[in-house]
Structure 1
Amino acid sequence: MALFPKAFVASVVFAMSGIGSDASAEDALKALVTWDALEVVSDRPEVIERVDSILAGEGFTPGMRMSAADSRIGHYCTRLESVFGQGAVQCHPILQGGGTAILVVQFDEGFPARRSQEIPGCSVGAQLPSEAQDALSRWQDLVIQKLQVSGGDPMSLTEFVNNDHYLDYRDVGLHEAASALHKAVATEFDVIAVSSRACEPRVRSHAVAMLNYSGRPQDALNLAIARIADPDEEVRNESLRLTSTFSSYMTPDSRSEMVDVYCHLLRSPSFFDRNKSLAGLSAIFSENPSSVAKIDPSCLDLIRTAAVLSRSEQIGGYARDIVRTAVHSSRLSNP
């Protein structure tokens, strides 16, 4: 399960990653939420229509109320596997905050979407500093509490990079948690950098998540970019998140290279790959709208398709923003 507030850049995969405490994740899973939409990650309308039809027949409808721990979630995925094949379907309840969620259905279509245990040349035995791990867990527990348990305002989690070059929040509690995380990560930066190449994928993903709070954006970007092609979906998710958040620190050449990387990952069947790639493209084009004119036409076609077919803000929202930027840029270039 994942946490993706609509108006918020940070997307924290807390149940899959195990960052927060078990108690906090369990509370979030048990909370009743309104299911805004069914998001089928596919570029084929007929596949989306088929999934819609199957799950409607099983009783899933937008606007229904149930918890993410409800046994019906597992039943929906089992039903889809009976049609599309065992192991061919993944279902993710995405908690958005404000008591809402979406159900994501994605397909295994050749990209490395499932957890892989090791990477070539990994750092054997690499571990995370306990103080930094504790600080990361406290921060995540607070995120869960504010969005799911207390029904807080998702806007309170809006992120920004502060003057000390790490992620910060308007919310006082989250600001204090981010400050404590920054101190712990800055002190042990070299250890965390090594852990970003750990053999254990969960250690890698937590290490990259910590780098958002290091206060060393250039070094953090270099480490995250090295993990963008990681075989593990969660590690890619954290790496892409960091590159989109700190895109303003990239050189023009790096931004150009990242556009190609993001465009490649738009072909991934993973919700998380597509979400973060579109977030990265949106960040780059927001800083330099004219650069959208240089994007490969095939990539722009993928973005237009996502803008039409996606029902989520995490994919469709970003895609529609980029399409609007492209249309505006084209009008300026061809008045």
Structure 2
Amino acid sequence: MRYIGNKENLLDKIYQAMQSKNIKGNSFFDFFSGTANVGKFFKKLNYQVYSSDLLYFSYVLQQAYIKNNEELYFEKLLNKLSFQSRSLFASPLYKVVEYLNQIEPINGFIAQNYTPSGTQHLEIPRMYFSDENGKIIDAIRQQIENWRIEKIISENEYFVLLACLVETVPFYANIAGVYAAFHKKWEPRAVKKMELRPTEFIINDFDNQCFNENSVNLLGEVEADIFYLDPPYNQRQYAPNYHLLETIAKYDNPVIKGVTGLRANYENQKSKFCNTITALQELETIAKFGKYNTLILSYNNEGIMPQEQIISILQAFGKVDLIEFDYTRFKSNNRGESKHKKMIKEQLYILQR
């Protein structure tokens, strides 16, 4: 899943760095969950995982991958559906996904506000999704919600199906990587008919927890051996950049504005880590009041918090090590039309009390 600062390709190096510093523990708090990839990685390693994020679509992914701790069988739903899977050996989840891929498209909120036909009255029609895919998204999203209302799927099944949708959408979105803008011409992937993809079930030995909350508010509630912080590195707020995933996840018909149809209000989803002064203050608060043995801050050399000040803050609470490694980032130009490689230094600040 395309996401700013996604650590999926760095997780092995992060874990190796932890091992090199002999970091012990059984519990792990992913402070800025995002795609939930970090939490998934450590859940597979049989850590008890806590995760949180301000964005609701992230909470959906956390519910599916972190909180849910069993394979789901959709028994009530499949007993009700008169549907024959094309595969004799398909899993229950695959059968439900297969069914959703065959339902009739609907002209709902996404089709009406984020496709060319739905926004042809605007000076610049929105080209986030093809007309067909916008209606497919609406149909799948409404069907999942209706099943929940009818109580023929459990809460875990509900969030797993939502996660399937949230993770599928980016493969068909006509964007460069974030949803703050759309391409003025169609990307080849965006004109293909959308097909929902199943998620995986991750099962370990613990009761794992997730939250849709500012993690700082959880400092008195969550106690873990390892706190892992991967905050925003710059002034770019995540909420407007992922407004469409948020709207699909919530499906709350929000008031929208502007050329790109941004959600009108995201004040309660702004991160203090997008400002140098407040970022340093938040870091100190977490280091001071958090209930942890080891705190790991994942950052890079382009971040808005200066290295000297980060180290100075953390050193007040224990021993600090800095591990750096080179990382290739692909960066779009201002119009998202091309990409070029850029080498940056990924930094791991490791505070051990």
Judge same fold: TM > 0.5, yes or no: no
- Larger-Rg structure: 2
Greater strand fraction, Structure 1 or Structure 2: 2
TM-score by length of 1: 0.30
Greater helix fraction, Structure 1 or Structure 2: 1
